[in-house]
A and B are shown apart, each in its own frame.
Chain A
Amino acid sequence: MISLVRTEFTKAARRTRTLVVGALLVGLPALIVFALHQRNNVRQANAGEGLFRLARQSGLLVPAAVLGATSGFLLVVIAATFAGDSVAGDSAWGNLRYLLMRPVPRGRLLVAKATVAGLLIWVSTFLVALAGLLAGIALFGAHPVNVVAIGLQISEKTLMLRVLLSTAYVAFGFTALLALGTFFSVLTDTAAGAIGATAGVYIVSEILDGITQLGRVRYLFPTHYLDSWQSMFTDNRYSHDMIAGVLVQVGYLVVFGTLAAVYFRRKDIRS
């Protein structure tokens, strides 16, 4: 299993696409922080709310602001790419049949591919946070944050802990996407189709989640609890929604992970 994960990781990590994504995930936070710093210097009144407004107080909060800016679309597309390409990429190259003509159980190969996709999603999320943290400290310094709305100050140590927790929560928030992407990836031999379907489900989920008339059904959408972590900074509290968010993600993992495994084990490999 370890050798399978290692070989799959090597294949994914050595792709030009992965290197471009890495550069983007480092460069974009740096650019955002630089823009934020410039806006801070000209002292615009009412220039932004929420995490970005707070982030100007301390570089330690910049990772949270950058995560908030990227987790709604950019990271979704990147995660969908890693997940949707996991099996379908090899199919498209015609290489999948050569992997499966060895004494390698299909279930094990699928787990290895999903593990590598998941690992890359986590690395991507932490890369965004780390790039934001380093750029933030460089431009804003490392200070406590005063949350004026609730009249409290959050210390440096607490900030760091919460940044770590929020990054992990955002990364884990892509678990449903990982499961969906892997499922679509075994359904089709076209990587672009699997990636598009995965990202499409998330976009549709976000749109439907905005329709409050749908009521409690929205609580089951994979995107419903994605931003729950922000309460740690804006309200200085750990929201119960974060636990609900984790449970929803686990639910998607179980359901679509099982579907993917069952389908892949029975699938005729024709590419």
Chain B
Amino acid sequence: MSEPSDTLNDGPGDSRGDAIVEVDGLWKTFGAVSAVEDLSFAVRRGQVYGLLGPNGAGKTTTLRVLMGLERPTRGTTRLFGTRVTPGCRELVRVGAMVEQAAFVPHLSGLRNLRLWWEAGGKRMRDADLDGALAIAGLGNAIDRKVNTYSQGMKQRLGFARLLLGRPELLVLDEPTNGLDPGEIREIRELIARLSAQGATVLLSSHHLSEVEQVCSHALVMNHGRLVADGTVTELIGSTGSVYIEVDDRERARAVLQGLKIVERVQSQGDGLVVELRDGRRSEVAAALVGAGLQLETIMATQRLEDAFLELLAAGDGQPPARVAQAAS
């Protein structure tokens, strides 16, 4: 069984005590079908953590188990150090949107917010209603019945609902599904703003650009299994190639060709494209600097999308790539 605390690296909070989401050896099966297999990871305070995977990878099932909606077949999930059970107390510290935002259709947006909040035994004056309404940005439509809302309006109302309790942790499942480009940008900016204000975010998505733009860390899943995890930068850099510019290109080529992690070195413009077998950009940078070269530029030549597809292709039948661990 893997130890998440040993595999995740930099970013806010490095000790296991900072982990506010812990998934340990999680299995979830439906009859003969395994939706999640031996999944372990941890999300630490302040991180924006992406669950990345194709449709059917097990992302939503993982979030459902985490929120107490489904029982794990095996393994445990913890929120703020407390084992998750249906309706457990720690859920009050979480704002969640699992799948699409859903409401009581014959009630207004405002009444939906009130009833949902009060159903938890809370008084309305304890909720951040003004803040939530400002985020929803629905104007007078907040008094209209929800069954007259567009998908985007429902999604924004969903964000307002999950923010009513000023949650420490946001759990978002495909939060931009069904939205138009303008609304997607708004939601991404909102997530970034909330993260900047100190909220921890666990976000599942199959939109790679979304994870790349929004998340500090990511976990790649496929067929219910963990394929790789680490920082987004590391995931991008863990496979494929990097582009470098140095003061002495030929000496750099010689240095790089001596590294085990380097597959091939090619010239491109003023720099070199280095194809990696494994490892991360920091090792390339360390080797060049260690050889006394002046490193002017180093950047991944691929996007998360490339890394994701390579990880999925390499991940079938392989043990998960612990990016941070492999690189450290």
Contact = CB atoms under 8 A, between A and B. Distances in A.
Interface of A: 3-4, 6-8, 10-11, 14-16, 90, 93-95, 97-106, 265-266, 268-270
Contacts of A103: 87-92, 120
Interface of chain A, helix or strand or loop or mixed?
helix
Contact of A101 (B71, B98, B121): B98
B86 A265 contact: yes
Nearest to B66: A101
Given A11-B107, A93-B104, A268-B71, A99 B116 contact: yes
Contacts of B102: 93-95, 97-98
User: Of residues A3, A101, A265, which shows the largest number of chain B Cβ atoms within 10 Å of its Cβ?
Assistant: A101
Contacts of B107: 10-11, 14
B118 interface: yes
Contacts of B10: none
Interface of chain B, helix or strand or loop or mixed?
loop
Contact of A266 (B68, B71, B103, B105): B71
A101 B69 contact: yes
Contacts of A269: 64, 69-70
A90 to B, nearest CB: 8
B141 interface: no
Interface of B: 64, 67-71, 86-92, 94, 96, 98-100, 102-107, 111, 115-116, 118-121, 161
A6 B86 contact: no
A97 B102 CA distance: 9
A270 B120 contact: no
B69 A100 contact: yes
A268 B69 contact: yes
A171 to B, nearest CB: 26
B104 A100 contact: no
Given A11-B115, A101-B94, A103-B87, 8 more contacts: A10-B107, A14-B107, A15-B106, A95-B103, A98-B161, A99-B119, A102-B119, A270-B64
A15 B145 CA distance: 11
